[in-house]
Amino acid sequence: MKAFRALCRQLGYSRASAEPSHRAQLSTSSSCFGRKKRTNPYEGVDQGKYSDLVQSVLSSRGPTQTPETLWEEDALLYGPVSRAQLSRQDQEAKSPRNWFPIFNTERDLEPDPRHPSVPLKIPLRRNRVPSVTRVLQHTMSPEQVFYLERWKQRMIMELGEEGFAEYTSNIFLQGKQFHEALESILLPQGNFRERADSLLKCGYIESVQHVLKDVSQVRALESAVQHETLKYAGLLDCVAEYQGKLCVIDWKTSEKPKPFIRNTFDNPLQVVAYMGAINHDANYSFQVQCGLIVVAYKDGSPAHPHFMDADLCAQYWTKWLLRLEEYTEKEKSQTVQKPA
């Protein structure tokens, strides 16, 4: 629009110059007294504050947007979200209706020194109970769904449908190779030992080297768990001692630094869900009271380990029970709505 106005002004000037001088002077004098000076509505805008945002919008090959950067962008434009305080009645309503403990009082808290030398690796069976991942995906908050869909649409605009499919496929493949390399390293006598030597050059493995030094006494690797009472299942990454404490360990990859546990979104719920299941699964004789989320980075920068003690795990366990109840209610309502 600005370019069009400038062109019109140039055309008007060229036509005026071709007419007699007295008409040009008359036109000039009348325009001086007849037209009001236009003011730029954007003069009062803090251009320095929004320079990064303008650059990202105008650049067709700017940095890849993630849900985290979208939240930061909205916070810059509209300010931080002001969350209303829950009333006491609402807080009481947020308690699970069917409480079930995360820890098993019938199991010894002390680790069994006679644990098998080879970590457990129980295959995941096909059954009708939902997986932990499915429960979390189907109970995301509207805010999470909005930003996830917004990020997806922006990625498709930048990469195209095929490019986005290739991007997600590569992310999945990198995560799979990362877990295979970790399994090769953590197994005492694994079949992937030779392959692990080549995968050690991977940035993700380099990123977690300082964490692996504190990991010992591996009890389970890529092993299935199922909670018979609460009716859910999952496939955990690892159960091992971290700095002398037995933990459910979840290995994650990220393109963006996540120095705080709040940056990991629903990952703590995933950890405590596995923990509650393993503590009540007959396939496991030990009990776990701590969790660890390790966020590794492709460029090899040091990973962020987020340790969860028993108290913190108990807090997240309450949130997991609420999500599980929400999922169950949604499934029941969909079953009722289906025609017979």
Q: What would the DSSP string read from start to end of 256-288?
A: S---SGGGGTTHHHHHHHHHHHHTT-TT--S--
Strands 245-254 and 290-297: parallel
Catalytic position from the list 94, 231, 252, 332: 252
pLDDT of the residue at 61: 41
Could you tell me the CA-to-CA distances from 219 to 26, 167, 222, 249, 287 in Å, in that order? 94, 34, 11, 11, 11
Q: Where are the alpha helices (DSSP H) in the chain?
A: 2-18, 21-34, 51-58, 67-78, 88-93, 132-137, 142-186, 193-199, 203-207, 209-212, 267-278, 310-337
Place of tokens 């010894």: 108
Higher pLDDT, 60 or 104: 104
In tens, the pLDDT along 61-96 reads: 444 556 666 566 666 655 565 554 444 344 445 789
Catalytic position from the list 176, 250, 281, 319: 250
Is 311 noted as a catalytic residue in this protein? no
Higher pLDDT, 50 or 155: 155
15 beta partners: none
pLDDT of the residue at 79: 59
Write down the pTM of the prediction.
0.71
Would you give the end-to-end CA distance of the chain in angstroms? Answer: 59
In tens, the pLDDT along 248-281 reads: 999 999 989 999 999 999 999 999 999 999 999 9
Of 275, 279, 215, 209, nearest in space to 241 by CA = 215
Helices 142-186 and 67-78, packing angle to 10 deg: 140
Is 252 noted as a catalytic residue in this protein? yes
The per-residue pLDDT of the chain, averaged, comes to 79
Q: What integer is the mean pLDDT of 314-333?
A: 95
Catalytic position from the list 237, 258, 266, 281: 237
In tens, the pLDDT along 135-170 reads: 999 999 888 889 889 888 999 999 999 999 998 898
